[in-house]
A = this chain, B = another copy of it.
């Protein structure tokens, strides 16, 4: 746990499983640019920053064109992100979970805030480039691991992890599966 002055900084990254047909229920939706983890830093850096929804129909206007987009319910961590980006990972097991409760491969979306590039909290999660021999891919690392390596900057602060919809009902991941 990090102390900043006398204030304990405790970071929680929500992990949610999308329900079938859920991009819905919310009173608003968010459209975010998507890049693939395999594309590496380039995708994250080049994806449009500001994406504003305007007018009565919520038409989203990005600062520049982009090919890949995803719609998410207007969940608190993603609404109002100034420079949000979604990274699609093919296998959630690459994430630095505390315990590996996921035995099978599962696609996952990691939503990061590119306005926050400081590695601040030990228990925060950060989007970084993989080591060079990893074909320029992306990965998510814990603040503690990055600090040990002296890494102070990242590509973005992870604000939300989205798991795919599933037929069966299963428990949400516990908060303490992180860290």
Contacts and interface: CB of A to CB of B under 8 A. Distances in A.
A69 interface: yes
B69 A31 contact: yes
Interface string A144-179: 000000000000000000101100000000000000
Q: What is the size category of the interface that chain A forms with chain B? A: 35 or more
Interface string A57-89: 111111111111111000000000000000010
Given A31-B69, A56-B164, A58-B71, A25 B24 contact: yes
A120 to B, nearest CB: 28
Nearest to A34: B59
A108 B165 CA distance: 33
A28 B21 contact: yes
Contacts of A29: 23-24, 29, 71
A60 B64 CA distance: 17
A110 B5 CA distance: 56
A82 to B, nearest CB: 17
Interface in A1-59: 18, 20-21, 23-29, 31, 34, 48, 55-59
A57 B25 contact: no
B59 A69 contact: yes
Contacts of A88: 55, 57, 59
Interface of A: 18, 20-21, 23-29, 31, 34, 48, 55-71, 88, 107, 109, 162, 164-165
Q: Report the 7 A-B pairs with minimum CB-CB distance, sorted nearest first.
A: A65-B65, A56-B164, A21-B27, A24-B24, A59-B70, A62-B67, A65-B67
